[in-house]
Amino acid sequence: MKVVMVQKSQRNTIVSIILTLIAFVLFISVSLFEELADLSMVIMIVGLVLLAASWGVYFLSGKSAPKEEVENVITVIACRNCGQVEERSFAPGDYIFKDMGQCKKCSGPSFIKSIYSVSPKKE
């Protein structure tokens, strides 16, 4: 989930860079080619809109990143022998009733009792 978020914000950054480049190319072409003088106002406005859009994309991607909802998934490991219960972060490959080897307390057989997710704390 986190990886997807990072890729999304990177894509937004690339989009904003491309929009900025297009805007600058428009500004430069207006100053370089006299044939475009009649269109200079229109091109300037289009360039400014592109610049504003690129800043908007960049600002939104930067702003949404800290608000990213990190879902905490907890795996509960229990011992069949002594009832010892331990919680840890979910790891890929975890599933309910998976054999987790020896209990840390009594060396009895332990297994994944349950997996649940915790919503991020609301401030």
Which chain residues interact with Zn ion by CB under 5 A?
79, 81-82, 84, 103, 105-106, 108
Q: Closest distance between Zn ion and the C-beta of residue 105, in Å?
A: 5
Quote the least distance from Cβ 102 to Zn ion, whole Å.
Answer: 8
Sheet holding 99-102, edge to edge: 85-89, 72-79, 109-118, 99-102
Please state the closest distance from residue 112 (CB atom) to Zn ion, in A: 14
Residue type, 88: R
Q: In whole angstroms, give the CA distance from residue 60 to residue 51.
A: 14
- In the complex with Zn ion, which residue's Cβ is closer, 108 or 120? 108
Q: Which is nearer to Zn ion, 101 or 108 (CB)?
A: 108
Closest CB to Zn ion among 53 and 106?
Answer: 106
Q: How far, CA to CA in Å, does 95 sit from each of 79, 84, 109, 122?
A: 15, 18, 16, 28
Smallest separation (angstroms) from Zn ion to the CB of 110 = 6
The dihedral over CA atoms of 112, 116, 118, 119, expressed in degrees to the nearest 10, equals 160
Closer to Zn ion by CB, 10 or 114: give it. 114
118 strand-pairing partners: 72
